[in-house]
Amino acid sequence: MELALVFENGEQRLFDLKPYLKLGVFARLEKLALFKTARVVSGSVEWSGEIDLSYDTLYLESETMQATEGFNPL
With H, G, I as helix, E, B as strand and everything else as coil, classify residue 27. helix
pTM for the complete prediction? 0.80
Q: How far apart are CA 13 and CA 26, in angstroms?
A: 20
Looking at residue 17, its pLDDT comes to 94
Q: In the predicted model, what is the mean pLDDT of the chain?
A: 89
Q: Where are the alpha helices (DSSP H) in 3-74?
A: 32-35, 55-60
Q: How far apart are CA 68 and CA 57, in angstroms?
A: 24
8 confidence band (pLDDT: 50, 70, 90) = confident
Per-residue pLDDT tens digits for 19-45: 999 999 999 999 999 999 999 998 899
Residue type, 18: K
